[in-house]
Structure 1
């Protein structure tokens, strides 16, 4: 089973209804953020999505820096009318009022569950959004984690990576823990397993079932693949064979 996946940072896609956050950031009609300007931005964002893959829009799209479910629906309808559904939208805790969300093809996927994981900084930051999907064709499950990690911008407005690296490392550690929870048998269950689990096929199958899950991480990580947050704290690997094996599993 093949499907196309895209992630996009929408760069401050606010509505024009003058919410408190939008007003503070000057995304209001009085400052030029009119319905006409918003519609033009939505069209500019939609066009590349409509025309990629030789005119075949993506089947699974993650977004960040979007203010509301309504805007997500407007954008999706502009890409391909009637094709997409939004995984249950959850308003996050970010101080700017921008969220992450996931939209998917109704023909290919069914959403089983969504959750939002809050990161406990002294100041509110973006949640990690989890959607569990079922692929209709083969009944396989796919867990998608949509991320928007803290900016490299420091307190004084500079972009010295060292000023803010700790925050992305913390989010990476949280993201890795979520993946572990999806894949690993909980300690509460492990302590009741026999010491020699390899002698009983039931336990081996149970462990394999947990590990053989499809998990996709997408997002704006505000770091490069070999930065500490990705390589050390998230513990992601640079191994193309893993992607080949994933493709075979989904098929």
Structure 2
């Protein structure tokens, strides 16, 4: 066989192999689910009904408007990149915390980075004294909310009601599958972890009640509970109250799987404070969203869970080098993004 015929044979063989490979290649729909603590996303207007004067934005003496729009731009740019590598678009669904009101969310989704995605908003004003809320943003072409409501943990401290953030439940269709999302921002560690621990345990009990309410109507419900929990995966709120599982093989019908527990064991974090590294931001799932090795992706299953800790989101210098590049510090604006890294997971389904 001469060189010309050999070359032609190789080309034909390559085309046949490529065609066969393409026909047998599995194709998947990929949707990104995310959560992001937006670190004091307050507007520049004094709201007399809440204590927003204590927010870092209102404490600024100059250039509040410039700072506000710079922060909006940075946060929107970050959200636009989450999950982009695999899903080829920004998150289909993203829970957020530390937002002052619906207005700041509208400014966020109208940013040049997100406006083409046509995000919808689910938001309620919570009774939190600082006026910070949780919310859910969703791309309307992928997710259709059917029902949403809020629950406030029944927490008392020294016989006084603790007004903390609501837990937001949103149920709806991700493409053609019904899912339920709980967005959380549990009580802080103010006063120290041991002293404040019962407050987060109460918040965990509230989560259980919401999950039980969902399962009472839908036994095999696909549930995601996400948020800034102000606890690490190994704390009592997760291990003793929610009874989260670290290993897929141990997840039973009514259990909750926490993919971030293994990441925490490996030393990953979503925030740092006073030289302590913590992984407070997580997305947990119920059994029907978990692939336990069967590789059955006929319905949406979690492919992998990650932390969006790109280099630009970290401080580059000083004593906080390597920490999340926060927006506010020592009464001023740093030009950063947030004091938390976003977290996200891919849900995939075979086409």
**Match 2:244 to one of 236, 245, 248:** 236
Whether the 8 Å CA contact 2:42–2:55 is kept in 1: the answer is: no
Instruction: Determine the C-alpha separation between the residues in 1 that align with 2:129 and 2:297.
Output: 38
Question: For this pair of structures, how many residues does the alignment match?
Answer: 220
Q: Deviations over 1:103-135 (max 9, x none)?
A: 111111111111010122312101100111112
- Alignment of 1:68 onto 2:105: no
Q: Deviations over 1:162-185 (max 9, x none)?
A: 010000000001101110111136
Matched position secondary structure for 2:125:
coil
Instruction: Determine the C-alpha separation between the residues in 2 that align with 1:33 and 1:229.
Output: 41
Instruction: Determine the C-alpha separation between the residues in 1 that align with 2:227 and 2:56.
Output: 26
Unaligned stretches of 5+ residues in structure 2: 1-28, 156-160, 250-286, 301-348
Instruction: Determine the C-alpha separation between the residues in 2 that align with 1:149 and 1:37.
Output: 27
**Match 1:81 to one of 111, 115, 120:** 115
**Match 1:224 to one of 216, 221, 232:** 232
Whether the 8 Å CA contact 2:105–2:121 is kept in 1: the answer is: no
Runs of 4+ in 1 over 6 A off after TM superposition: none
Unaligned stretches of 5+ residues in structure 1: 155-159, 186-209
**Larger helix proportion of the pair:** 1
Alignment of 1:205-224 (within 5 A): 210-224=218-232
**Larger strand proportion of the pair:** 2
Bigger CA radius of gyration: 2
Match of 2:199 in 1: 167
Instruction: Determine the C-alpha separation between the residues in 2 that align with 1:149 and 1:12.
Output: 15
Q: Deviations over 1:62-98 (max 9, x none)?
A: 1000011111121122232142433432111111100
**Match 1:112 to one of 127, 141, 146:** 146
Match of 2:342 in 1: none
Match of 2:38 in 1: 10
Match of 1:199 in 2: none
Matched position secondary structure for 1:176:
helix
Instruction: Determine the C-alpha separation between the residues in 2 that align with 1:26 and 1:75.
Output: 18
- Alignment of 1:133 onto 2:167: no
